[in-house]
């Protein structure tokens, strides 16, 4: 059943679909990342978001190194079935820069201005070995 | 100034960037569509969302045939500068199927279940010529 439900989605030529991750309570847009069929299946089965990293070519669970996991509340798709919406409860911050939301660069008269709610210091969280 | 601000974004190999369109007041995820540099520039200059249709290979203003335009409230980008967030005030429905949001297919035990707020009948709005 789950495989056929996932199979109804339109993955791109690389087998990926963008996932828009939103705070389930207040609608804040937290991040956009990519999933393949396996990471979506893990997301559904574990209730924690899993993605595919295009740059690192690696399957990852959000929060696996930072502890800032996302617990899934609901999953929806759009009229074209080619984008996912994942509503979550976020622990800590979604952004590796320390912000709660990755969308913390805002268009102003003089360009992109960084402004957001810092939840952690990335140097503390992603320690170099 | 505007061209260099747009130039800081990371467009993909096709010159496109995904734009997540959200209700400025309640955070509802309305739609995800693609912009190129020209459609983003029109969006900023006119205050109405403009996109690039990958299927029709055509530049379009949201609402140009339906009247269901989106007035831009703010534009942000993420830490990788490869996704846009556009907060808007939506007239009518964002989805060509008549729903307020394109994300009206929800994952349930028995698959994707269609459920949302219908704003219009698409047969009335997109009349065949």
Tell me if B116 is assigned to some domain: yes
Two structure tokens written together for A31:
């991040």
Distance separating alpha carbons of residues A83 and A77, to the nearest angstrom: 6
Contact in structure between B112 and B105 (CB atoms under 8 Å): yes
Interface membership of B22 toward A (CB under 8 Å): yes
Tell me if A39 is assigned to some domain: yes
CB contact under 8 A, A112 and B8: yes
Interface membership of A7 toward B (CB under 8 Å): no
Please, is B45 exposed, middle or buried when counting C-beta atoms within 10 Å of its C-beta (0-12, 13-18, 19+)?
exposed
**Interface contacts (A, B; CB < 8 Å):** 110
Tell me if A110 is assigned to some domain: no
Tell me if B126 is assigned to some domain: no
User: pLDDT tens digit string along B10-25?
Assistant: 999 999 999 999 999 9
Tell me if B127 is assigned to some domain: no
- Helix, strand, coil fractions of chain A, as percent rounded to 5: 15, 35, 45
CATH value at residue A47? 3.10.20.810
For B40, the domain range is: 2-120
Distance separating alpha carbons of residues B60 and B127, to the nearest angstrom: 18
Distance separating alpha carbons of residues B98 and A103, to the nearest angstrom: 29
User: pLDDT tens digit string along B78-105?
Assistant: 999 999 999 999 999 999 999 999 999 9
> What is the least distance, in Å, from the CA of B129 to any CA of chain A?
24
Two structure tokens written together for A5:
């439900």
Model ipTM? Answer: 0.94
User: pLDDT tens digit string along B49-59?
Assistant: 999 998 899 99
Residues of A with Cβ-Cβ distance to B88 under 8 angstroms: none
Interface membership of B95 toward A (CB under 8 Å): yes
Q: Which residue of B has its CA nearest to A78?
A: B103
Residues of A with Cβ-Cβ distance to B73 under 8 angstroms: none
Q: Beta B84-90 vs B70-77: how paired, if at all?
A: antiparallel
Number of domains in chain A: 1
Mutation target vs A (from B97, B99, B105, B115; most A CBs, 10 A cutoff)? B105
User: pLDDT tens digit string along A64-123?
Assistant: 999 999 999 999 999 999 999 999 999 999 999 999 999 999 999 999 999 998 999 998
Contact in structure between B65 and B53 (CB atoms under 8 Å): no
Tell me if B63 is assigned to some domain: yes
Output the pTM of the full model.
Answer: 0.95
What would you report as the CA-atom Rg of chain A, rounded to the nearest whole angstrom?
A: 15
Tell me if A59 is assigned to some domain: yes
Tell me if B129 is assigned to some domain: no
- Number of Cβ within 10 Å of residue A13's Cβ equals 5
The shortest CB-CB distance from B27 to any of A1, A28, A96 is to A28
Two structure tokens written together for B100:
């307020």
């Amino acid at each position: 059943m789950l495989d056929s439900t996932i199979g109804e989605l339109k993955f791109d030529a690389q087998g990926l679909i963008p996932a828009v991750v939103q705070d389930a309570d207040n609608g804040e847009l937290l991040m956009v990342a990519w999933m393949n069929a396996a990471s979506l299946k893990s997301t559904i089965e574990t209730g924690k978001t899993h993605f595919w990293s295009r740059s690192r070519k690696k399957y990852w669970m959000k929060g696996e190194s930072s502890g800032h996991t996302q617990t899934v509340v609901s999953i929806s798709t759009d009229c074209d079935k080619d984008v996912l919406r994942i509503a979550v409860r976020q622990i800590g911050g979604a952004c590796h820069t320390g912000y709660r939301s990755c969308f913390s660069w805002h268009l102003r008269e003089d360009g992109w201005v960084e402004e957001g709610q810092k939840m952690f210091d990335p140097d503390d969280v992603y320690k170099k070995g």
